[in-house]
Amino acid sequence: MQPLQPTIFDALLQSVPTIFVFDVIINIVLAFVLGFFIAAIYRLTYQGYAYSAAFVNTLIIISMVTAIVIMVIGNNLARAFGLVGAMSIIRFRTAVKDTKDIAFVFFALAAGLATGAGSHMVGVTGCILVGVVVLLLYLFNFGVITRKELLLRFWMEPVEDETPPYLKIFEKYLKTHRLIHMRSARLGQFLELSFHVRFKEDVNHQKLIRELSIIEGIERISLVLGETTDDVGA
């Protein structure tokens, strides 16, 4: 009688590769250290508007869990496919608000992969080098446009005058202004105007908003400054 051929289920049920408890502890502790380092870099360089302490803690947990998963998989291809199948039933509904957050998630995953595979030198060296690059990009504001156009939006009652009432204020505070959008609002009682504007040097943005709000017929003024908005209603 011929012996039965081993199936994928037999391979899946094989014992976890021989690994000592001391090695497991070392890998998990190093994953924690690297995850903490990544989380600290993220916290130091964060420039968004929706900081989440839970996300910072998640980066540490991701590194440690990934290291455990890699130690369980080892060189067993069947076990790796089984893990992919098990993970496919999980649905993540939390939206990542910043593309930089996605990069840090992959950063934490890479650290966990390296430590779980026993490539400690690769993990430590890679995290240090990537961390230094992130810090340099943050310190030198690489990619930030310093002279960007801001978005000014307000509602105005239609006027028959050829010279708009806001024009003198624009000339007083703005270097350039460009109308990019106009539409009817509140059943034609108002016009919603949107401008790309650039302020003159050393000009307080709030002064422009304050003087616009004084003009009769102008309301719902908003000035978008990057990721923050100053709103003043007439």
Residues of the chain with pLDDT under 70: 1-18, 49, 76-97, 144-149, 225-234
Task: Enter the pTM of the model.
Answer: 0.59
Contact status, residue 230 vs residue 206, Cβ threshold 8 Å:
yes
Tokens of 163: 């010279």
For position 175, what pLDDT does the model report? 87
pLDDT the model gives residue 135: 94
pLDDT of res. 37? 96
Q: What is the phi/psi pair of residue 102, to 5°?
A: -65, -40
Full set of structural domains in the chain with CATH: 8-139 (no CATH), 150-232 (3.30.70.260)
pLDDT at 88: 62
pLDDT at residue 86, rounded to an integer: 58
